[in-house]
Structure 1
Amino acid sequence: MSHQTILRLPSVAQRTGSSCSIIYSLIKDGQFKPPINLGARAVGWLESDVSGFIGAHVKASRKA
C-alpha cells in the first residue's frame, strides 16, 4: 500500500502561498481539487494533489 499524506487547510494555504478563501475560490472554479472528508467537521487534501497544483503553476509561469 502506498503512503499518502493528508494536509489540512492551513498547510495547503502555506504551501500554495494562497489564502484559504482563494483556495476555495479555485475549487469552485475547477482549478484546484476539492478536499476529502476526514470526519463530520474535518477535511484535508492529498499532498500529491497540492504538489501537482504547484508544479502546474510553476510550469505555466516558466513558459512565458
Structure 2
Amino acid sequence: MRMPSVMQMTGLGRSTIYRLMARQQFPCPVRLGVRAVAWRRSELDVWSQTRPAISH
C-alpha cells in the first residue's frame, strides 16, 4: 500500500507515521525503487489489531 492509502486506512498523518516508524512502533515500508516505498497490507492489519486503544 502506498502512503495515501496507509494514511486513509490508519487515520494517521504522514509525519505521525514516520515518527512512529522512528520509534519502531509502526511497520517499516518495503522499497519499490529509488524513490518509492509501500507497506504490506498484512503488516498493517497486524499493527492495527495489536496497537493500544487511544483514550481521550
Q: TM-score range by the shorter chain?
A: 0.7 to 0.9
Q: Distance in 2 between matches of 1:45 and 1:53?
A: 11
Q: Which amino acid aligns with 1:30?
A: Q
Could you tell me which runs of 5 or more consecutive residues in structure 2 were left unpaired when the two chains were aligned. none
Query: Of Structure 1 and Structure 2, which has the larger fraction of its residues in helix?
Result: 1
Q: Deviations over 1:12-62 (max 9, x none)?
A: 1111110011000000000011111001110000000111111112xx32x
Q: Percent sequence identity over matched residues? A: 40
TM-score by length of 2: 0.87
Structure number with larger C-alpha Rg = 1
Which residue of 1 is the match for residue 23 of structure 2?
29
Aligned length: 53
Could you tell me which runs of 5 or more consecutive residues in structure 1 were left unpaired when the two chains were aligned. 1-6
Using CA pairs below 8 Å that are at least 6 residues apart, which structure has the higher relative contact order?
1
TM-score by length of 1: 0.77
Q: Which amino acid aligns with 2:12?
A: S
